[in-house]
Amino acid sequence: MLTGDQYKDSLQDGRQTFFEGEKIDDLAGHPLLGQTVATTAAGYDRFYDPAPDATSPLMTVPSSADDLREMIPLLHEAGMMAHVTYTSIQTLKTAAGRMNDVKPDYIERMDAFIAEAQVNDVRITQCITDAKGDRSLPPAKQDDLDSYVRVVDRQRDGVVIRGAKLHITGASFGHELLTIPTKAMKAGEEDWSIGCAVPVNAEGVRIINTTYAPRHADTRSFPVSGTHHYPEGFVIFDDVFVPHERVFLDGETAFAAVFAHSLGLWERLGGLSAFVEEADQLVGLAQLVAEANGTAGIAHVKEKISEMIIHATLIRATLEAAIENCSVGPEGAAFPNELFTNAGKFHAAANYNHIVRHLHDIAGGAVLTTPSPADFENEQVGELARKYMSTGPDIDGEYRARLMHTIRDLTADSYGGWKFVTNIQAGGGLYAQRIVTRRHYDLDAAKLKALQIAGLAENDDH
């Protein structure tokens, strides 16, 4: 296993990573991106086991509902890079279990890749979303054939790929890019049916980072996003050679969607579990800020918080149902229930804005205008800021200010804006979650119930 320092050193591997017009040669030392390295390194140290044959608990393959359940708090604790790595490993395991009749080599290569990743304790990011060009056209009909990542050359010992995967969370901070098709492919789209693992420092890989991290030296003003931020990356494959042993699909169009569906499932489980955690935080903030404002006993405020509680409880129930109703694949790897995962993730994402609206409504305008922690320390205005942020003898002004800063950081600033878009788009977008939910719902059973209640069922005696 790697220590945090070894992880930091491992990033000095010649990777070509860019931020705001500059190539970054020292990620760990960068004033903004270095915070992501530090958080990820802390996650390594937290789970480090010095035993020579130890492997990270974050990289295990669950085989039961209990295993799935136990991983959730560990992944929240370990942070985003551990989450995307776990999701990548489970994606490969779930996909392998669904790839009957494909070349056995592929399954062996996936297993070997997972085993190597576990031994080396690397971090893997999920590269699925292509640039996609004109959304109404398939890959082979695009003006630019590189709009979807494709094979441009097949050589004796491997393939050469070209294209770009966009919005990849943490791409510059991991070691491996799990690169898989973003959608189902048809005959004639063999070159775009490519699944493989590419090291971040492979020749021809370039990553352009963006981040919602606040450009602010004082993390007290940004208690959530000030340290915990994971830049997304445009990952560009500019004619990158991938040896055969790292190719998991090449040309078998019928299996292209298996990867996307498997990743979607795991990504949405992770998304749902994050929503569940955060829903409780939002309820807690609403209650605390109502108490601090003196409005906790007012009827409409209580109603809004009750609605938030119902939302938090219902999405927790879908997470639990997704885990409890898991299935186990042919190799013994457990995967969550598709129906509950997708319905829960959709509901959590689609109703997030409504829940945050209640929080903003309850909290008031100070969410945006509360003076900064530095203002509270200023000799001329600090005490006045404290006085006017206070709402009574029991509510210290600075305490109330910290609640407001947390609400702003979570929901109304750079990170909050990022979340509004991410909630709708991540995990394949709401559209994809709707489709998968519908596919796994028993519509025939529902129709039968409708026919029965209408007295129209075949064997109905009415």
Ligand X SMILES: Cc1cc2nc3c(=O)[nH]c(=O)nc-3n(C[C@H](O)[C@H](O)[C@H](O)COP(=O)(O)OP(=O)(O)OC[C@H]3O[C@@H](n4cnc5c(N)ncnc54)[C@H](O)[C@@H]3O)c2cc1C
Which of 127, 149, 178, 366 lies at the binding interface for ligand X (CB under 6 A)? 127
Work out which of 167, 186, 434, 440 binds ligand X, going by CB under 6 A: 167
**215 is a site residue for ligand X (CB under 6 A):** no
Give the span between the Cα atoms of 301 and 290, in whole angstroms.
8
Minimum distance, C-beta of residue 185 to ligand X, in the bound complex (Å): 14
- Complex with ligand X: residue 278 or 386, whichever CB lies closer: 278
**Residue burial 164-196, b: 16+ Cβ < 10 Å; e: rest:** bbbbbbbbbbbbbbbbbbbbebeeebbbbbbbb
Q: Is residue 82 within the footprint of ligand X (CB under 6 A)?
A: no
Tell me the C-alpha distance between 172 and 15, whole Å: 8
In the bound state with ligand X, the residue whose beta carbon lies nearer, of 197 and 326, is: 197
**Shorter beta-carbon distance to ligand X: residue 382 or 429:** 429
Nearer to ligand X, 181 or 371 (CB): 181
Which member of 103, 132, 360, 440 binds ligand X (CB under 6 A)?
132
For the chain, the helix, strand and coil percentages under 3-state DSSP, each to the nearest 5: 55, 15, 30
**First-to-final CA distance of the chain:** 69
CA 337 – CA 325 distance, rounded (Å) = 6
Contact residue for ligand X among 146, 191, 232, 409 (CB under 6 A): 232
Determine phi and psi for 56, rounding to 5 degrees. Answer: -70, 135
Stretch that binds ligand X, among 92-100, 101-109, 127-135, 253-261 (CB under 6 A): 127-135
Distance CA 173, CA 404 (A): 31
Closer residue to ligand X in complex, CB, 180/305: 180
Q: How far apart are CA 247 and CA 107, in angstroms?
A: 10
CA distances from 56 to 150, 213, 335, 423, 432 (A): 33, 28, 20, 29, 32
Residue 388 near ligand X by CB under 6 A: no
Indicate whether 88 belongs to the interface with ligand X (CB under 6 A). no
Alpha-helix runs per DSSP H in 79-224:
80-97, 104-120
Q: How far is the CB of 367 from ligand X (least distance, A)?
A: 23
Question: Hey, what's the torsion of the CAs at 400, 401, 402, 405, to 10 degrees?
Answer: 130
- CA-CA distance, 85 to 174, in Å (whole number)? 9
The encoded tokens of residue 208 equal 């352009």
Q: Which parts of 415-434 interact with ligand X (CB under 6 A)?
A: 421-422, 425-426, 428-429, 431
Pick 97 or 174: Cβ nearer ligand X: 174
Binding mask of the shown chain, residues 169 to 188, with x at each position contacting ligand X by CB under 6 A: x-------------------
> What binding mask, one character per residue, do residues 104-123 give for ligand X by CB under 6 A, x or -?
--------------------
Q: Contact with ligand X (CB under 6 A): which of 14, 22, 31, 135?
A: 135
For 292-352, give the DSSP string: HHT-TTSHHHHHHHHHHHHHHHHHHHHHHHHHHT-EE-TTS-EE--HHHHHHHHHHHHHTH
Using CB atoms within 10 A of its CB, is residue 446 exposed (0-12), middle (13-18) or buried (19+)? exposed
- 260 near ligand X, judged by CB under 6 A: no
In three-state secondary structure terms, 141 is helix
Q: What is the closest distance, in whole angstroms, from the C-beta atom of residue 356 to ligand X in the complex?
A: 17
Residue 48 vs 418, nearer CB to ligand X: 418
Does 80 engage in binding with ligand X (CB under 6 A)?
A: no
CA 282 – CA 271 distance, rounded (Å): 16
**Least separation in angstroms between CB 232 and ligand X:** 5
Residue 78 is a binding residue for ligand X (CB under 6 A): no
Strands (E), 9-80: 17-19, 22-23
241 phi-psi bin (left φ>0, alpha ψ -120 to 50, beta other):
beta
Smallest gap from residue 188 Cβ to ligand X (A): 17
> Of 69-77, 161-169, 269-277, 285-293, which segment contacts ligand X by CB under 6 A?
161-169
CB-facing half-sphere around the CA of 262: CA atoms within 13 A? 29
- Give 282 or 426: the residue with its C-beta nearer to ligand X: 426
Q: How far is the CB of 448 from ligand X (least distance, A)?
A: 30
Q: Considering beta carbons, is residue 163 or 428 the nearer one to ligand X?
A: 428
**By CB under 6 A, which span of 40-48, 125-133, 138-146, 271-279 interacts with ligand X?**
125-133
Give residues in contact with ligand X (CB under 6 A): 126-129, 132, 135, 165, 167-169, 232, 421-422, 425-426, 428-429, 431
